[in-house]
Structure 1
């Protein structure tokens, strides 16, 4: 069974980039519904839920390919054997700015244990993304995903549905947890530690 926790938050989303990326999502996906409506709101009110998936109910290992802002290629196969955190963001997203220092702190804590962190920037050009990273002193890399390729690939496994969204992948590359909205530091730390502790 999935375990869910709820809290209130208003989450910014990129209507233009996500309209293309989420056009193939199910009708029950609120972000896809909004994008398809074409009303240009550019915001989605997420439900603030955190879902942890038991090992028996996880889908197959995720599959995606993309590139960092410096051009370095990254694909899901390169993450095999590692717990991985994927955080969907863009620079003008207010909750993304709030959670950035916590993500950096968790990266510094868990990177020595082999946990990989990647941002997935769904909207910005390189200069904007790099300015954000400098401002918040982020030292983990981000994939450039303005075309929505990584986001669309991951909707097959679990729809991100709002920005920010943070996914934790287990050592087999399967989604073990999703935070829909602003990531609480303590909650994310527990989800990462749980995935690390699994015998796989």
Structure 2
């Protein structure tokens, strides 16, 4: 088998694995041992203050061509929503993220999206317009930003995934499913209340 054929086969297998894992409503964290986080009955996993892992570098171009770095929002609670325009559950939760982001504007909270697996920014921009989303979204068509999280942490594993970063840029909570407004607020409020 030629090198080109092997590369094509490997790329096809990786794409199939990503497709099978996309838009699921469950998952497990990679790695073993004591992870220092607890998953509640509501599907939201949390890590206690002092036992949180820092978020990796989440920076780059947005779907509208600007550049952002999530680290610039240190001092604020950051809601990171990983989504794709092709993802039905993402469409279901989009309106809640738009609403809550507007309600918490200027209250020490920053929302950031990570658009993944869209082959161009056109459907991503249309999705945000349709949903009323006004916060920035990083454009990550290959999913490389998701891969920067360490295994065994509150890492994103599915689309959609929502992460709450505390004021120090550490991952405080994670949901591996589409969220209602109520579920999103249950994740956000405790971290926002921390001193």
TM more than 0.5: yes
Asked if residue 177 in structure 1 is aligned to residue 179 in structure 2, the reply is no
Q: Which deviates the most, 57-66 or 100-109?
A: 57-66
> RMSD of the alignment, in Å?
2.4
* Residue deviations 1:131-182 (CA, integer Å, cap 9, x gap): 1111112111211001323211234543211110000000000000001111
- Unaligned stretches of 5+ in structure 1? 1-18, 21-33
Q: Which deviates the most, 149-158 or 54-63?
A: 149-158
Query: Residues of 2 paired with 1:183 and 1:189: CA distance?
Result: 9
Partner of 2:44: 50
Asked if residue 70 in structure 1 is aligned to residue 75 in structure 2, the reply is no
Partner of 2:100: 106
- Unaligned stretches of 5+ in structure 2? 1-9, 27-41
Choose from 161, 185, 191 the match for 2:157: 161
The TM-score, its normalising length taken from structure 2, stands at 0.77
Larger Rg: 2
Query: Residues of 2 paired with 1:81 and 1:38: CA distance?
Result: 37
Q: Is the 8 A contact 2:161 2:176 kept in 1?
A: yes
1:171/1:134 Cα in 2 relative to 1: closer, same or farther (>3 Å)?
Answer: same
Aligned length: 168
1:168/1:176 Cα in 2 relative to 1: closer, same or farther (>3 Å)?
Answer: same
Query: Residues of 2 paired with 1:78 and 1:51: CA distance?
Result: 25
Query: Residues of 1 paired with 2:50 and 2:126: CA distance?
Result: 41
Query: Residues of 1 paired with 2:55 and 2:124: CA distance?
Result: 28
1:1-200 matches, cutoff 5 A = 35=14, 38=17, 41=20, 43=22, 45-47=24-26, 49-124=43-118, 125-155=120-150, 157-199=153-195
The runs of at least 4 consecutive aligned structure 1 residues that moved more than 4 Å come to 34-40
